[in-house]
Each structure stands twice: as C-alpha cells, then as structure tokens.
Structure 1
Amino acid sequence: MAGPAASGGDVVTGAGFAVRPARAGVADTVVAGAVGPVAGESPRRRAWAAAAAVVDPEVPVLTIADLGVLRSVEVSDDGAVRVAITPTYSGCPAVETIRDDVVDALRREGFAEVRVDLVLSPAWTTDGISEDGRRKLREYGIAPPTGRSRFGEARPRGPVPVEISVPCPRCGSLDTRELSRFGSTACKALYECRACSEPFDHFKVH
C-alpha cells in the first residue's frame, strides 16, 4: 500500500522509496513496489522486466528485483533508459557486474542508450527482500533475515532485546548457532544447525 505523500510533492511507493514526479522528457518511470510489468505493454514495462530479471551474482537464485537492489527504471521520450540500483552494502564487489548485466539485458531488449545510476540513499536493508525472494533463499539453503531492520531509527530504551532464533533452512530446527559473523559474503553470517549438523548462511538483518 502506498504511503502518505512526502514533502515537496514526492510520493512514497510501497517499497518506501521517495520518487519525484515525472520530469520533462521522461515518458515513464517504474519504481520498486509498483504493479508488476506486463511484457510488451509499454517500453517502460519492457525495460523494467529486462532489468528485474538480472540475477544477483553472489546469490544467483535471486534477481536484483527479489533482493530489492533494483530501485527504479525510467524511459525517456527518445527511448533512453535510466536505471537506479542500490548495493547491499557500500563497497559491494558485485556492483560493477550487476551494472554491466543490466546494461546488457536492456540492450538485448532493444534499448540502445542505457544509464545505470548507483543510489546510496536511502540505504539498502534486508526489508527490501521480497516474500518470493525469501522463499527462494530458503529453498536454496540460505536462511532469510529474521525480523525487520531498524536502519535509521533511534534505538529504543528499555530491556535489552532478545535475538530471534534463526531456523535452519534445511530441517527447520531452531536449535542453531552462529559460527562466524561473516559467511560467504559480508551481508551473510555462517550458522550451524545442531539438529541436522549442517552449516548454512543466514542473511543478516541490516
């Protein structure tokens, strides 16, 4: 559900991203959280579908749309495409690969002029991972993030919060423990399941 209008005429989409009204020369914009694209319906929807299908090089079971890395896709009146992406963390080594893959995907779709912008604010959080993306992670053997990010919010006063147990994506047991704060990538932690003795990655909440 779309949130309230932001200051200055901006609108807040269902994914929580502020998007300014269409600029002169911009025919159409698709933003994260908008209604899904329909192939062939319009240039913007074809562009969104092509960019959204790009897979994350570090977690190939997810697309950049599943992950919430894809922020928006604009198509100008002259057919030029401008894409906004946000890395999962500053300095992510996969950013250049994602940028190149988005450009290649859009050019294969027939868009000759493509620009990919790196947007660092608002920062990416695990809240951006879609429900379908979380399902794919579990099926792939990676525990999706538990709870919601508190990025940018003041830390509440009161009792120390209790950490939520991370369920094993293989057997579902809650009898798990963290082995290392960093797993196969910086945004994941390495866990072990005491029930089935299998190690697994867990997407950290951030």
Structure 2
Amino acid sequence: MTTLPVTPEQVWTALAAVPDPEIPVVSVTDMGMVRDVTVDGGRVSVTFTPTFSGCPALHVIRDSIGEAVRALGVQDVEVRSTLTPPWTTDWIQEDARERLRQYGIAPPAPAGDSPLITLDPEPTRCPRCGSLNVRMTGSFGPTLCKRLYVCDACKEPFEGFKSV
C-alpha cells in the first residue's frame, strides 16, 4: 500500500480529535499536551507532555495519538512523552476552558510565570451558577490535577482544575 506523505497540518488536525481520556469534552491538543509534530517523509514523530508525570492515562494517550496518526495512512509513527518543560494549565486553550466549565469542571486560573506551585487554592467559580461562594472539600479529586468543591450558593458539588 502506497500513500502520499502527510503534512504536519494533517497530523495536528487528526490529533485535535483525540479526546483527553479523563475529560472527553476536550482533546489532547485543547489541553496543550501535544508539544511537537515532525513529518520526515513517511515517518511521523509526535511529542507530548502529560498533565502530570504520574498520569495514570499516559499509555492511553500515547496509544490514542499513535492510532490517530496511523489512521492517516502513516505506518512509521513514533510517539514520545517528555516532562520538560513541565505541563502547565496555562497551555489549555481558551475555548477548551469554556467547554470544561460547561462540562461541570471549574477551569483553572492562570498559573502565571512563577516556577512555584502554590498551596493556597486560587479563587474558584462554580461552573454551574458562577458563584465565588464555594468551599474546597478535598485537595485531591478523582485525578491529581483536580480538587473537589461544593458551591454554597447552588449547593452543587463540582471538580476544579488546579493551576500548575
């Protein structure tokens, strides 16, 4: 089987359809995890940074990226993960932040330029009613990148992304 070489743009488009395995309303590109795409003849290399170094979905992300590129007809695919530079919530695309909110997850505040992770939670709005009258009920949610909250205005529990 002979196929024409793909372009980097085609690969990026395919990767934009790869959902985050833990949050299906956003893709791996929406989350800013895909760092580089290289096309060299019939070989494609994709480098991504997981949201956390101990991400339990690392193998799922790697496999999904490889499958998306192979679906373009590419046989020679290399998918690499890197922890340098570390992923930051500032890489999440703006429209993805709104989809997170609509899904019921409070998007993170900007992490800023500080190399330090703050232990004090940033002000968080309820993704359902928009109130700032919320309280954190757990520093760790179902994944390491989220906290658990309850809105005292609408009484709904929700998850909120940590800013890193």
Whether TM exceeds 0.5 here: the answer is yes
Query: What RMSD, in angstroms, separates the aligned Cα atoms of the two structures?
Result: 2.0
Answer yes or no: is the 8 Å Cα contact 1:71–1:85 preserved in 2. Answer: yes
Instruction: Give yes or no for the alignment of 1:50 onto 2:8.
Output: no
- Deviations along 1:128-154, one digit per CA (max 9) or x if unpaired, are 111011011011000000232445269
Answer yes or no: is the 8 Å Cα contact 1:125–1:149 preserved in 2. Answer: no
Once the two structures are superposed, the pairs formed by residues 189-204 of structure 1 within 5 Å of their partners are 189-204=147-162
- Deviations along 1:33-55, one digit per CA (max 9) or x if unpaired, are xxxxxxxxx62111111123211
Q: Which residue of structure 1 aligns with residue 50 of structure 2?
A: 87
Identity %: 47
Once the two structures are superposed, the pairs formed by residues 50-199 of structure 1 within 5 Å of their partners are 50-76=14-40, 78-152=41-115, 164-199=122-157
Aligned positions, number: 159
Runs of 4+ in 1 over 4 A off after TM superposition: none
Q: TM-score, normalised by structure 2?
A: 0.90
Return the offset for 1:71. 0.7
Any gaps of 5 or more consecutive residues in structure 2? 1-5
Q: Which residue of structure 2 aligns with residue 205 of structure 1?
A: 163
Structure 2 Cα separation of the partners of residues 104 and 181 of structure 1? 34
Secondary structure of 1:98 counterpart: helix
Return the offset for 1:119. 1.0
Structure 1 Cα separation of the partners of residues 31 and 117 of structure 2? 25
Answer yes or no: is the 8 Å Cα contact 1:182–1:189 preserved in 2. Answer: yes
Equivalent AA in structure 2 for residue 152 of structure 1: P
Structure 1 Cα separation of the partners of residues 122 and 79 of structure 2? 37
Answer yes or no: is the 8 Å Cα contact 1:75–1:82 preserved in 2. Answer: yes
Structure 1 Cα separation of the partners of residues 29 and 78 of structure 2? 17
Equivalent AA in structure 2 for residue 165 of structure 1: P
- Deviations along 1:76-119, one digit per CA (max 9) or x if unpaired, are 0x210000000111110111001101111111111111000111
Q: TM-score, normalised by structure 1?
A: 0.73
Structure 2 Cα separation of the partners of residues 182 and 154 of structure 1? 15
Any gaps of 5 or more consecutive residues in structure 1? 1-41, 156-161
User: CA separation of 1:87/1:154 partners in 2, compared to 1, >3 Å: closer, same or farther?
Assistant: closer
Secondary structure of 1:64 counterpart: coil
Structure 2 Cα separation of the partners of residues 165 and 153 of structure 1? 18
Structure 1 Cα separation of the partners of residues 54 and 141 of structure 2? 17
